[in-house]
Amino acid sequence: MKLTFHPLDLKLKHTFQIARETRTIQNNVIVLLQDNGEVIGLGEAAPTSYFGEDVNSVSSVLAQSADLLNQSDPFQVEDITNRLKNEFPKSAAARASIDIALHDIIGKKLKIPLYRLLGLNKPESKITSFTIGIDTPEKMGKKVEEAKDFPILKIKVGFKDDIEILRELRKMTTAVFRVDANTGWTPDEAIKKLNLMEDLGVELVEQPFPVGSIESLRQIRRHVKIPVFVDEDIKDSKDIPAFSDAVDGINIKLMKCGGIREALRMIYTARAHGLKIMIGCNIESSVSITAAAHLTSLVDYIDLDGHLLVTNDPYRGATVDKGKLTLPDGNGLGAGARSGVPLPSM
Amino acid sequence: MKLTFHPLDLKLKHTFQIARETRTIQNNVIVLLQDNGEVIGLGEAAPTSYFGEDVNSVSSVLAQSADLLNQSDPFQVEDITNRLKNEFPKSAAARASIDIALHDIIGKKLKIPLYRLLGLNKPESKITSFTIGIDTPEKMGKKVEEAKDFPILKIKVGFKDDIEILRELRKMTTAVFRVDANTGWTPDEAIKKLNLMEDLGVELVEQPFPVGSIESLRQIRRHVKIPVFVDEDIKDSKDIPAFSDAVDGINIKLMKCGGIREALRMIYTARAHGLKIMIGCNIESSVSITAAAHLTSLVDYIDLDGHLLVTNDPYRGATVDKGKLTLPDGNGLGAGARSGVPLPSM
């Protein structure tokens, strides 16, 4: 297989702010993997500084992976992804881009969609949440107004006046709220705020505390009815057992775990522990969002809106209408270049 | 899909005795699943009384599953096997026969071997252990002599003079020994015997205690160097977390867990816990032994000798030469009727 990769700079509709950072652009990498001069598989890396990756580190890993891929059969996903994980353990987004492209090639070669390759039903159109980043109260209100078609909103919290803003937003919409503190709270703050949020239609809370706060998670679950999920705490399947009695669920992201293969491992491990599962994303184009969308029949909560937050996605794939996420037709991922936009060169 | 099934009575080369039972025949069921009048998938149920199944219960579950299968697409393995598990939670061997036949159909339709469908490398020829059942010291010696080509023997223990017999067998062969007590020991007995076995080339011990003896398992691991595996204790992936700090590894069997799909869940869950994995079997024909053989690249220890213990296996599939287990060529399982033996009718 021949590997090429190209930067993909995604422009954000709104400045993206969460508890720990602010951005106006997301620098991703698109991977093209060509099998024997025939089928081209698409992949994408959406690196985040939080997990120590960026376009440079992704490009470096991809360049170093070219030889292995050149000598490999795309069907040997387990072996290829394990070898890449051994070699580049901290480069999950880079590895995810290869894993996704491999799955795309296999589906295209077998002429079946990815979900079918994985033994899954065609995912029903399920509702994805839409993310409202942190901003001034006025701008957060404006964003909620713009998102009025979405039945579920994921509101970023984890700052001083979050509860007051949430109260104001509640007046504007009947949408279900999920809140994501992105490590921003203390235990006392979390208990107080989540108890207040019970009356504001909050369905679940994500990552209330800094990574590793297992005891604090156990503690708030004794005082709070809203289900507690972890995201930053759980990178891959090996991280799950330690949190299994401390949370209600986990957020799985292809970019955090290294791709579809590891996402399946996480799903099975989480289910063995009786945990609920959300599938989430970074800010991504339709390529990797669509890859994740093939797994939605296996999860409870969907947060695949990364491609909706950008203005210049050159790819098409899973579409969202009034929150309903629908897979494209087609083999493999079913994603591709938008009409009139050429694929980057091999 | 049209389902038919037929009894398969396997005659044992030797009376099979383990710590809790004795048998001369193994009554299995062969499943044929035909997709749209074309491809036929093969499956097999090898029920055991220990898990409350027999030919009658398997036949009853299969008859009740015909309608669901008649209306289903074979590619929807996840959904079909989940529905069967909900409906027939205690009928793992019956469910495994359907799961195996579905995987066989998919592989045949896509014209790829099962291991390739699962994203795995072609399993290298790895060594399977060969089982020596409980018998008189003379007969156990004779069995070990007959098994002189096998580099690894799994010796059934869990009876009064087991350590003395093992000492005698050790004089006859340099083969690696694995011992399986099939729930037959007390903790004091286990510690004493395993300490003695350390000098007898015993690689691991399986299921020393009655099901549920988690505290005893923790206890012997503090006193014994030989790695401790559980078999009867762990039926499916949900059973793994509770034992994860009490054992070194688990034995996965398709007939115990419900098939290939659940075996993968168990493999991923066990790895997330850092556990070692053995893949084992009941007394089975080459059909379901071959299904399990497709997973061997994912495990550490192989115990797939069920088809070697019978005299009238009408099927061909994975072969064993001097302990080396080799997959057949061919799509799906690659198993089929032996030359000159017709498949049962649809």
Asked if the Cβ–Cβ distance from B75 to A268 is below 8 Å, we say no
Does domain B117-337 fall into CATH 3.20.20.120?
Answer: yes
State the pLDDT at residue A264.
98
Q: Does position B200 have pLDDT exceeding 80, yes or no?
A: yes
Q: What is the spatial distance between Cα A30 and Cα A97, in angstroms, rounded to a whole number?
A: 7
The question of ipTM being above 0.90 is answered as: yes
Q: Collapsing DSSP states into helix, strand and coil, what is residue A262?
A: helix
Report, in this order, helix, strand and coil percent for chain A, each rounded to 5: 40, 25, 35
Question: How far, CA to CA in Å, does B263 sit from each of A318, B253, B279?
Answer: 31, 7, 9
What pLDDT score was predicted for residue A5? 97
Asked if pLDDT for residue B58 goes beyond 90, the answer is yes
pLDDT in tens, B125-180: 889 999 999 989 999 999 999 999 999 999 999 999 999 999 999 999 999 999 99
CA distance A242 to chain B (A): 9
Q: Which are the contacts of B259, defined by CB distance < 8 A and separation ≥ 6?
A: B81, B95, B96, B98, B99, B100, B103
- Closest chain A C-alpha to B311 CA, distance in angstroms: 36
Query: Is there a contact between A78 and B273 if contact means CB atoms under 8 Å apart?
Result: no
Mean of all residue pLDDT scores within chain B: 96
Burial class of A105 by CB neighbour count within 10 A (0 to 12, 13 to 18, 19+): buried
Q: How many CB atoms lie within 10 A of CB A46?
A: 28
Structure letter (DSSP) for residue B307: G
Instruction: Report pLDDT digits (tens) over B301-322.
Output: 999 999 999 999 999 999 999 9
| The two domains A2-112 and A117-337 share their CATH topology (first three levels equal) | no
Ranges of H-type helices in B198-303:
214-223, 240-243, 254-257, 260-272, 286-293
In CATH terms, the fold of domain A2-112 is Enolase-like; domain 1 (3.30.390)
Which segments within chain A are labelled E, that is strand?
Answer: 2-18, 21-34, 40-45, 126-127, 130-132, 152-156, 176-180, 202-206, 228-230, 249-253, 276-280, 301-302, 315-316, 319-321, 324-326, 336-337
Test B271 with A261 for CB contact under 8 angstroms: no
- Dihedral sign for Cα atoms in the order A213, A218, A224, A225: positive
CB count within 10 Å of CB A83 equals: 14
Which residues make beta-bridge pairs with A29? A7, A45
Architecture of domain B2-114: 2-Layer Sandwich (3.30)
Domain ranges within chain A, ordered by starting residue: 2-112, 117-337
Residues B274, A238: C-beta atoms closer than 8 Å: yes
Cβ separation of B78 and A269 shorter than 8 Å? no
- Give the position of tokens 């026969």: B97
pLDDT tens digits for B217-256?
A: 999 999 999 999 999 999 999 999 999 999 999 999 999 9
> How far apart are alpha carbons B306 and B255 in whole angstroms?
12
pLDDT at B18: 76
Going through B181-318 in order, the beta strands assigned E by DSSP cover 202-206, 228-230, 249-253, 276-280, 301-302, 315-316
- CB spacing of B120 vs A76 below 8 angstroms: yes
For residue A16, the model assigns a pLDDT of 80
Q: What is residue B322's predicted lDDT score, i.e. its pLDDT?
A: 96
Measured CA to CA, the distance from residue A234 to residue B123 in angstroms comes to 31
Q: Is B301 left (phi over 0), alpha (psi -120 to 50) or beta?
A: beta
Report whether pLDDT(B20) > 90: no
Per-residue pLDDT 10s for chain A (346 aa) are 999 999 999 999 988 887 777 889 999 999 999 998 789 999 999 999 999 999 999 999 999 999 999 999 999 999 999 999 999 999 999 999 999 999 999 999 999 999 999 999 999 888 999 999 998 999 999 999 999 999 999 999 999 999 999 999 999 999 999 999 999 999 999 999 999 999 999 999 999 999 999 999 999 999 999 999 999 999 999 999 999 999 999 999 999 999 999 999 999 999 999 999 999 999 999 999 999 999 999 999 999 999 999 999 999 999 999 999 999 999 999 999 998 888 888 8
In chain B, residues with a C-beta closer than 8 Å to the C-beta of A264 are 268
Helix or strand or coil: residue B38? coil
pLDDT of residue A22: 83
Triad A166, A172, A174: Cα angle to 5°: 90
CB within 8 Å: A272 and B78 = no
Query: Phi and psi (nearest 5°) for B93?
Result: -65, -40
What is the Cα–Cα distance from A89 to A235, expressed in whole angstroms? 11
The pLDDT of residue B131 is 94
CA-based nearest distance A121→chain B, Å: 5
> If pLDDT is split at 50, 70 and 90, which confidence band does B343 have?
confident
Q: Chain B: which residues have CB within 8 Å of chain A?
A: 75-79, 106, 110, 112, 116-121, 237-238, 240-241, 244, 261, 264-265, 268-269, 271-274, 297-298
pLDDT at position A177: 98
Q: How confident is the model at residue B93 (pLDDT cuts 50, 70, 90)?
A: very high
Secondary structure (3-state) at A337: strand
Bridge partners (DSSP) listed for residue B253 = B280
Instruction: Flag whether pLDDT at B37 surpasses 80.
Output: no
pLDDT over 90 (residue B79): yes
Residue A15 confidence (pLDDT): 85
B196 to chain A nearest CA, in Å?
A: 35
pLDDT of residue A50: 93
Q: How confident is the model at residue B341 (pLDDT cuts 50, 70, 90)?
A: confident
